[in-house]
Chains A and B, each alone.
Chain A
Amino acid sequence: GQNIDQPTEMTATEGAIVQINCTYQTSGFNGLFWYQQHAGEAPTFLSYNVLDGLEEKGRFSSFLSRSKGYSYLLLKELQMKDSASYLCAVRDSNYQLIWGAGTKLIIKP
């Protein structure tokens, strides 16, 4: 079957750095997405990786290793507004997105 694993919850301190990991086993691979979802709101797009390596976008970076079925989202200079759930999703061979259950990130002052 298809499976996306990410930690359920993480806690970090304002101003620090946090890395959220995602491992996947899917039937085919056509890209990996990270979305941010604040409580009670819709998911919003953060990043997309289809080739191995690091994609940097301001305070957020996303890394992909296709051979290891692994990705991480790196958040730097954490702010209180970064408290949210972070969703990892993989597009499979049918071009459908398979979603992880999300990682709830709690930022403490």
Chain B
Amino acid sequence: EPEVTQTPSHQVTQMGQEVILRCVPISNHLYFYWYRQILGQKVEFLVSFYNNEISEKSEIFDDQFSVERPDGSNFTLKIRSTKLEDSAMYFCASSEGTAYNEQFFGPGTRLTVL
């Protein structure tokens, strides 16, 4: 069964460093998303992406964040200068864009900023 994959599973970085989180969405999906979950809190929407453009972004998704689909398979989230409060689990999701918009989630990348 097709699934969304994410790498790495765990990333540790120093404050101020750039990180890139990678996702491979399901191959025939057209819509891509990033969500994050700070430890012990709810899952929050960051950004949605379609046709090589950002469709919507939350107020969390400030200038330090960017997304890219560099080739036909990968979907990346870049944080330019990490802060302590960026420590969280980051989930990638993709969907076909069908009427009920079922999104399939990856296993997540745990980002720890020291």
Do A and B come from the same complex? no
Binding site for B on A (CB under 8 A): none
